[in-house]
A and B are shown apart, each in its own frame.
Chain A
Amino acid sequence: MSIPDETLMAFADGTLPEAEAMRVVAAIEADPALAERVALLAEGREALRGAFAGVLAEAPPARLLAAAGGTAPPARPAGAVPAAGNDNAPPRWRVAAWAAAASLVLGVMLGTQVPRAPAPGGLLSPAVLAALEGSATGAPGPVQVSGTHVAEGGLVCRAFAAPEEGGTLLGLACREPAGWRLRAAVARGPGSGFQPASGTDPLIAEVLERLGAGPALAAEEEAAARRRGWRAP
């Protein structure tokens, strides 16, 4: 009795309907060659369990993160992400993890992934809060604001850069009725030194885009927003 390999494979996978499976069992008992074939089919699949899984745990190289994030010049679709003026050390895997997280839980801080979250509970350190509240874009200081944007519903958001452990923490905070709330943070790893934001980080830009934010406000618009206490116009 001959049974096609496809049927034997379904049997080996346990996906064959019961009546048919019983028929295969009977055939296997009568024909050791069929039993051997089922064993090979099962072994073939089992052997591949976990194959090439090592690559899943590796941090993708920077060139791939750039290609996927659209920051490589030829790959950027028109109007998708504003120019990233940040050409320091390439983002590390943690940064990409943030991008992935941002697609799922925008606006939720993954506290454990933020190195030394500035103030437990509040998440924004007094220095960052002071800069968000009082500093104009580009004004010198330990914490620098790199842009003010108006998101959907008139929500005012500000991107900033704060030094940490030889690197930089880039963040985006929005002024909600209760106060400033951190919406995204990206760590630029140690070694790159403190880089006052010279442009918008691609991932901060991504979050801004999801918030429906427009381009950075001009100085006089920003001053007007500041006079309104950073509330919606």
Chain B
Amino acid sequence: MPSSFQADLVALLPRLRRFARALAGDPDTADDLVQGACERALRAQDSFAPGTRFDSWMFRILRNLWLDSHRRRAARGGSHETLEAAESIPGAAGAEATIGRVALREAEAALLRLPEEQREALVLTCIEEFTYAEAAALLGLPPGTVMSRVARGRIALARMLRGDGEAEAP
């Protein structure tokens, strides 16, 4: 039986790249993530349930890969936050190279400085436009948790962009 799996995957590449870029910041790391996710998806394509959302399924695979690589780096030393802050700086510079508009560039850099859990919730709902319920299912979290992370992230982001200093304490 012919399958549209690969064509669907190719069609989803631009959005996967955007999601990975927003998670990782650095373009090369982001594309490595996308490539890894595609390879994993093709090996696991039998586990995709037809009739469910293909994009959610792929985003979940990519996000799990991202978490795995994060845990490996965290295990090598350093706190999560420190690593995050350190990694977000080249990431912001990477974004700077491709996006011309200053406000957007600042918003992207600010997004990359947010804690991981707020960032992924924000990216899924504000950039990828999943509903809170869809994002919650994708992240394996209760919708209320996702909503509170998104709210905290939106406020922290706005404060950073206003120059109010760092995000408020969670």
Give the B-binding residues of A (Cβ under 8 A). 5-6, 8-9, 37, 39-41, 43-45, 47-58, 60-61, 63-65, 67-70, 72, 74-77, 80-81, 96, 99-100, 102-103, 206, 209-212
Contacts and interface: CB of A to CB of B under 8 A. Distances in A.
B98 A81 contact: no
Interface of B is mostly: helix
Interface in B128-162: 144, 147-148, 150-159, 161-162
Contacts of B2: 209-212
A64 B144 contact: no
Contacts of B154: 9, 40-41, 43-45
Contact of A40 (B110, B147, B159): B159
Interface of B: 2-15, 17-18, 21-22, 31, 34-35, 38-39, 42-43, 45, 95, 98-99, 103-104, 107-108, 110-111, 122, 126-127, 144, 147-148, 150-159, 161-162
Contact of B110 (A47, A68, A99): A47
Contact of A9 (B9, B42, B107, B147): B147
A-B complex: 7 closest residue pairs judged by Cβ atoms: A44-B154, A103-B7, A5-B151, A43-B158, A100-B11, A67-B38, A47-B107
Given A41-B155, A47-B161, A55-B98, 4 more contacts: A48-B111, A49-B126, A96-B10, A103-B4
A51 B2 CA distance: 36
Contacts, number: 149
Contacts of B98: 54-55, 58
B14 A40 contact: no
Given A47-B107, A52-B21, A80 B3 contact: yes
Contact of A44 (B7, B21, B153): B153
Given A41-B151, A67-B38, A48 B3 contact: no
A43 B161 contact: yes
20 contacts: A5-B152, A6-B147, A9-B147, A40-B154, A41-B158, A44-B126, A44-B155, A44-B157, A50-B104, A52-B127, A56-B17, A60-B13, A60-B17, A64-B34, A67-B35, A67-B38, A96-B13, A103-B8, A103-B11, A210-B4
